[in-house]
Structure 1
Amino acid sequence: MSKKKVVSIEDRIPKLKQARKKKANRRLIFYLSIFFFLISIIVYLQSPLSHIKTINVTGNSFYTEEEVINKSELTTTTNIWTINKAAIIAAIESNPIINSVEIERKLPWTIEIHLSENDLVGYISDENKFYPVLGNGTVLSNVGQNTFNGEAPLISDFSDEAYLHRMTDELQKLPGNILNLISEIYWTPSEDNKNKIVLYMNDGYMVKGTIRNFADRMEVYPSIVSQLEPNSSGIIHIGVGAYFESFDSETSDPGIDREIEEEDSDELH
C-alpha cells in the first residue's frame, strides 16, 4: 500500500496567509484604480482639457462661419460634454436662411456644425443692386451685389409678397436643369387672374403661364422645345394644355389661354 503524505496545519497556515494577502492586495489595487479613474474624470471635466478648441462649420453659403458660431453661443470655454444640442439647433434655425442643422462632437475637443441652407431660386433687383431670393421666399437684403451673374433667374415686378412666396415655392420644386434654363420671370397679373407670369428663357423662347402648379406644368418645357424647328422663336404657353406660338405666325389658338384663365382665376387662399 502507498503511504499518503500528511501535511500538518502548521505548514499550511503560512501558505493560506500568503494567498489571502495577495487577494487583499489585488482588491486594494482594483479599488484604488477605480478611485483614481473617477478622480481623473472629475479633474478632466473641470479642467480646460474638456473645453472646445475647434468649431468647424460646413454647408454655409450666405451665413458666415462667424455668424453661425456666434448664434450657437459656443466658445473655447464651453465644456464639450455639456453642450445643449437642441438649444443650439433651435438658435441657428431661427435664421430663415437655414433649413436644417446637425451638431456633431469629435473627440477630443472639436465640434462640427453641419448646415443645410434653403435653395437659391432667384434674384430681385432694387436700386441697381441684386439680392438673392431663397426657396422659402426670403430676400437676403444684406448680401446685395452690383452685377447680375445669371446664377438663378431674375424675378421682377412681384409687388405682392404673398405671390412672390408662392412663386419661389414653385421654383424650389423645379428640377435644376429646368431652373437653369430660366433667365427672367415677370409677374403680369390681370383683374381676372393674378397668377399670370411671363418667363424669358436662356435658349431664346418666351413662356406664358401661371404661378399655380407652375413646377408641374414647366416639366413639359424640354419636351416641347425638342420638337420645335431649329432657330425657331416664339412663345410657349403652358397651362391645362401646352402649345407653341411662333412670332412669325399671325394667328394663334386662343382656346388654351381661355382655359388657363378659367382654371386659374381664383385668388390666393
Structure 2
Amino acid sequence: MSKNKFFKKKKTELTPWEALQGKKEKKSKRFDFFGNPKMISDRLPKLKKYQHHVLRQKLIIIVGSFLVIGLVALYFVSPLSKVQTINVSGEKTVSKQQVENASNLHTNDPLSSALFNKKKTLREIKKELPQVKSLTISHDKWNDVKLSIVEYDLAGYVYKNKAYYQLFLNGAVGASTFKQPVGNYPTYSKFDQPTILQSMVAQYRKIPLKIRNGISEIDYQPSKVNNQRIYIYMNDRNKVIANIDDFADKMAFYPSISSKMKEKGVVDLEVGAYSYPYNKKS
C-alpha cells in the first residue's frame, strides 16, 4: 500500500460514535418519529393548507382595508360629518348668539374641524368677548356641537361716556353698555388709563368677598404727589382714602377700624391707618 493511499484511508475513517450519529441522521431524513417512511406526498396537503391560510389572511386584510377606507370616505361626504346645530351653555353676561357669532363656527362646517380646533375657537371668542375664561367643545347625538363657556366673575362697572360697562376680574371691559349697574357690584369712575384700571382690579380681587360686598364706588383721585390715590365709598356710608398699590393689604384693617368708629366718617389708609368723623379732620 502506498503512502498516499494510507493517509487517504486514515482521513476518511470515522469513530464508532460518529458512524452511529451519521446513521441516525440518514434515518431521520427517511422516517418520521414513529419509524414510518416519510413521503413527499404526505407533506403536500399540509403545505397547500398553509398556503391557503396565508392567502386568506392577506385577502381579509386587503378587503378589510378597502372597506374601512370606503366607510371613512362615505362618512366624510355624508351629512353626518357636518355640524347640524350649535348649542351654547354657561353664559352669564353675554347672550348665546354672541358666543356663537364670536366662535366663527357655522352649521355645515366639518364636524372634525369644530371638535379639534378648540384653541383657535377660544381665541376667536376672546377677541370679541374678553370675559370668557375657558371653553369646552363637545358634541351631542351625531353632529350637534355644544360650546360650554366659563366667564370671569364681575369686578363691577366702569362709568365712562355717560354709560356703564361691565368690568371683569381679569381686567377686561365688556362691550355692552348699561344705563345702570346691575347687582351688588362697585362702580369705577375716572379710570381713564387702562393700566391703572387693571392695577386696581388686580388689588380688588385680592380682598375678601365680605369686604368687596361692602364697596359701593371706587374713584381714581390722583394728586400731584400721589398718582395712586383712590377714594372708596362704602355701603355703610364711610369713605376710605387709600392707594392702589397697597389697597388689598390696607383694606384688611377696615373692618376693625370701622367697628370702633362712633360716627360715620373717613378711614384714611393713604399713609397710616386711622379714622375721623366727616365734620372733623385730624
Shorter chain as denominator, the TM-score bin is 0.7 to 0.9
Measured in 1, the distance between the counterparts of 2:62 and 2:206 equals: 63
Measured in 1, the distance between the counterparts of 2:148 and 2:207 equals: 25
CA contact (8 A) 1:92 1:98 kept: no
Instruction: Kindly provide the CA deviation profile for residues 36-93 of structure 1, in whole angstroms up to 9, marking residues without a partner as x.
Output: 1122122223322222345343443233222222222212212222344443232222
Flag structure 2 segments of 5+ consecutive residues without an equivalent: 1-33
Change (3 A) 1:50 1:182: same
Measured in 1, the distance between the counterparts of 2:127 and 2:120 equals: 11
Name the SS of the counterpart of 1:200 in structure 2: strand
Matches for 1:193-204 after TM superposition, within 5 Å: 193-204=226-237
Change (3 A) 1:189 1:44: same
Matched, 1:16 2:56: no
Change (3 A) 1:199 1:28: same
* Aligned position for 2:112: 81
Matches for 1:245-260 after TM superposition, within 5 Å: 245-247=276-278, 250=280, 252=282
RMSD: 3.4
Measured in 2, the distance between the counterparts of 1:141 and 1:91 equals: 15
180, 186, 205: which one pairs with 2:238? Answer: 205
CA contact (8 A) 1:235 1:247 kept: yes
Return the index of the structure with the highest Cα Rg.
Answer: 2
Name the SS of the counterpart of 1:142 in structure 2: strand
Matched, 1:66 2:97: yes
6, 29, 33: which one pairs with 2:64? Answer: 33
Matched, 1:43 2:74: yes
CA contact (8 A) 1:135 1:169 kept: yes
For normalisation by structure 2, the TM-score amounts to 0.69
Measured in 2, the distance between the counterparts of 1:19 and 1:164 equals: 80
Flag structure 1 segments of 5+ consecutive residues without an equivalent: 253-269
Measured in 1, the distance between the counterparts of 2:53 and 2:171 equals: 75
Residue-pair matches, total = 246
Matched, 1:218 2:264: no
Identity %: 31
Matches for 1:86-97 after TM superposition, within 5 Å: 86-95=119-128, 97=130
Name the SS of the counterpart of 2:267 in structure 1: strand
Name the SS of the counterpart of 1:167 in structure 2: helix
Matches for 1:173-192 after TM superposition, within 5 Å: 173-192=206-225
* Aligned position for 1:261: none
262, 265, 271: which one pairs with 1:234? Answer: 265
Tell me by how many angstroms 1:122 deviates.
Answer: 1.8
